[in-house]
Amino acid sequence: MKKPNLKKIWVVFANIALASFICLFIAVLSLVIYYVKSAPTLTEEALTATVSSKIYDKDNNLIADLGSEKRSNAKTSEIPKDLVNAIVAIEDRRFFDHRGIDVIRIAGSFINNLKGGHLQGGSTLDQQFIKLTYFSTSSHDQTIKRKIQEAWLALQLERRNTKQEILTYYINKVFMANGNYGMKTAAKAYYGKELKDLTLPQLALLAGMPQAPNQYDPYTQPEAAKYRRDLVLQQMLEEKYISQEQYEGAVLTEITDGLQPLSNTSAYPPHMDNYLKEVFEEVEAKTGYNLLTTGIDVYTNVDVNAQKQLWDIYNSDTYVSYPDEHFQVASTVVDVSNGHVIAQLGSRNQASNVSFGTNQAVETNRDFGSTMKPITDYAPALEYGVYKSTADLIVDAPYNYPASNTPVYNWDRTYYGSMTLKAAIQYSRNVPAVKTLEAVGLEKAHKFLNSLGISYPELLYSNSISSNTTDASSKYGASSEKMAAAYAAFANGGTYYKPQYVNKVVFSDGSTKEFAPEGSRVMTPETAYMMTDMMKSVLTYGNGLNAAVPGLPQAGKTGTANYTDAEMETILANNEAANYSSLVVPDENFVGYTTRYAMAVWTGYTNRQTPVLDNGIPIATDVYRSMMAYLNPVDTATDWEMPSGVNLYGSYLYLDGSYPQYTYTPSTNTTPSSSTPVPSSSDTSSSTTGTTEPAVEQPQTSASSSTAQEQPAPINPAPSSSQ
């Protein structure tokens, strides 16, 4: 047999490899040429244009023209050398050596990323300017096509303009926070001076801001701003632009040095600030575009009349009598049919000279108390078959958190004995709530909460009556936004819609991206209706009476947070008024809904250690009632229709297959019981108590009368006590 000719085989393989390489090269080159040909054209108009994003309301009316603010463009001769050096040092240290793209920098960045180190990104200052002018600045939008076009345009920019001209374009284009575009504009707004008159640390601050203007805002984020400024100075020192002595003197300068009070230059009314902040974040998350640096048109879901009404409720005494000017409110209103956020406001008496500050309406750092009970305990109990009716019985009696020796306290430190599910919600008893969560199981309850947009790193039994979490991330816990969206699922029959601020974006090239409601069924219509029926009683017989609007079908839940014993001791020692108040709490909430809208309201003080006292307790329900009365004219109000899988017996609801069983056993608890027999489900196998004792529907004690407030005891309340 003839031996194979290895040389010929290798020649064949080599030819195949070469042909493959040539084909691949041609394919890549063709793709690059295609991308280059489809790239935007460099024009003086685009390079110097004012970036302007227009924002529209739900009826397509213009509400804000961002970027239309006055700006002062600097001439090349007006730009101080220290500012040029600061920008180059922090953004592109080889700026004067490359021709638009920096191969050395790209290679260094790639190698350093492989090592897990930190280096400047691969983009040159030219490429960053091209992004600001033509593309999205989001890292999530950096496609191969975009990077090729970006590099091509950067090369063309270098051929077209001098280095000084490119720097001038950049300095005049960048967003500098608080409605200011361009560094000359920022110099005037922040320091009242021309660029040439600023000090080295002031110029370093301006040079460092464009990467994250709001994050490095010296007015609202002084610590982050100082960190960024000092990093710029360090880079200037390393590049030998400044001496060691200059560096040491500059970093010791206070970040507030020379700052003047901001004037209100906003292009939109103050009542839109919180809402627009969420619009910006949603647009960037969904499109990669920053509204403050890219000109696009955004169509939102805001009802401007409702938003203004909410502002007026917050900032006048026409609707609500507030305890003082520092008392705060945060709330969100959603359309229950689609999750559209129609109104949202994070605080009262907002500073008019600060744009896009903290929006408490979306923060999760305060406790929503017993408003968690319907979504953490009772709804999953109905959904997973723990309960079959609103008349199922559960015992309110001394009880410890599962697998612990820690007792669960009711706010009044008393127990009502056997009571129906409906009564437990109506009077917001803590023991039945925790027992219900134990019966459901933490895993199932966690899953149910996740389906409603509320997450915890780990669900605890204490979350039965509280939204507190040890994780500071806004990803976890509850906010007015999250709670309004969660309760909306009860209102619409069981579908959760993710809160949505934007419905459409139109880009500068005329292309459009629309955003449909994101909804999914999370519970049966029967569960949603039974929960609504029980929470209706909170507004008719329970502690939510103040939220009721005569003639308007509503459902909802109150929620109160508590101080620990140690916190209460400190507060009573330092706050004289607290010693004369029957109620001393950090957070008071109300979450409710009609067939059209759901609204969540948080009230309290920015400093949690400043307590809400007696005169502040009704504010949450006052705000809710005022807004719902505006949104829901009684003459057009509708009630919920009972689904086919639910049957009504007396005042209680039963799932198909269960029916009332009237029994009566004299109560032995310490609180007097009603002697009227109360129906319970005939299927008691899933009950957490298995008792046939009658429910205490309207206990004849002062703590449980229909006008009693659902609040913790004023002196030494248990940390676990919640409403």
8 A C-beta contact, residue 472 and residue 365: yes
Considering the candidates 266, 370, 462, 680, report the single residue annotated as catalytic.
Answer: 370
Q: Does residue 382 sit in helix, strand or coil?
A: helix
8 A C-beta contact, residue 313 and residue 626: yes
8 A C-beta contact, residue 580 and residue 611: no
In the chain, % helix, strand, coil (3-state, to 5) comes to 40, 15, 45
Distance, first Cα to last Cα, the chain: 93
Distance of CA 337 to the CA centre of its chain: 20
Q: Does residue 614 sit in helix, strand or coil?
A: helix
Q: Which two tokens stand for residue 710?
A: 């659902």
CA distances 163 to 103, 106, 147, 155, 441, Å, are 18, 20, 21, 12, 66
Comparing C-alpha atoms, which of 494, 462, 496 is closest to residue 477? 462
Q: Which segments of 51-143 does DSSP mark as H helices, in order?
A: 81-91, 103-115, 125-134
The alpha carbons of the chain give a radius of gyration, in whole angstroms, of 31
Q: Write the DSSP symbol of residue 141.
A: G
Quote the CA–CA distance of 355 and 366 in Å, as a whole number. 23
Q: Which two tokens stand for residue 472?
A: 């500071």
To the nearest 10 degrees (0 to 180), the angle between helices 200-208 and 222-238 is: 100
Spatial neighbors of 307 by CB under 8 A, at least 6 apart, are 271, 272, 275, 342, 343, 344, 345
8 A C-beta contact, residue 279 and residue 300: yes
The angle subtended at Cα 296 by Cα 291 and Cα 301, nearest 5°, is: 80
Task: List beta partners, residue 53.
Answer: 66
Considering the candidates 91, 150, 284, 697, report the single residue annotated as catalytic.
Answer: 91
Quote the CA–CA distance of 508 and 377 in Å, as a whole number. 48
Comparing C-alpha atoms, which of 375, 347, 538 is closest to residue 466? 375
Q: Which two tokens stand for residue 10?
A: 């290798």
To the nearest 10 degrees (0 to 180), the angle between helices 183-191 and 200-208 is: 130
Q: Is residue 458 annotated as a catalytic residue, yes or no?
A: no
Comparing C-alpha atoms, which of 356, 204, 378 is closest to residue 284? 356
Quote the CA–CA distance of 656 and 721 in Å, as a whole number. 35
Comparing C-alpha atoms, which of 372, 387, 463 is closest to residue 420? 387
Strands, E assignment, 321-438: 328-335, 341-345, 393-396, 417-420
Q: Is residue 370 annotated as a catalytic residue, yes or no?
A: yes
The angle subtended at Cα 588 by Cα 351 and Cα 597, nearest 5°, is: 80
Q: Does residue 508 sit in helix, strand or coil?
A: coil
- The CB-side HSE value for 180 (13 A sphere, CA atoms) comes to 26
Pairing of strands 297-300, 53-56: parallel
Task: Please list the active-site residues.
Answer: 91, 370
